[in-house]
Amino acid sequence: MTNYSGSKCPSCQGTFFETVVESPTNSNYKLQFVRCSSCKTVIGVLEYFNVGALVEKILLKLGIN
């Protein structure tokens, strides 16, 4: 992912990030980790299922804008 915001890895100061799907021990759900492309330090965790996109689909089906 190209980074235009100036975000930096807290570990190596790298400026490239990637996401990977993981199933951590004791987690019932897959999670999407955002991590530094060079040193693999995890910066953030997202839900694997994109809740925002799901809600949008439901709203469209219900005819709500």
What's the min distance (Å) between Cβ of 15 and Zn ion? 9
Interface positions with Zn ion (CB under 5 A)? 9, 11-12, 14, 36, 39, 41
Q: Say if residues 16 and 3 touch (Cβ distance below 8 Å).
A: yes
Comparison of 1 and 54: residue with beta carbon closer to Zn ion:
1
Residue placing its CB nearer to Zn ion in the complex, 11 or 23: 11
Closest distance of CB 43 from Zn ion, Å: 9
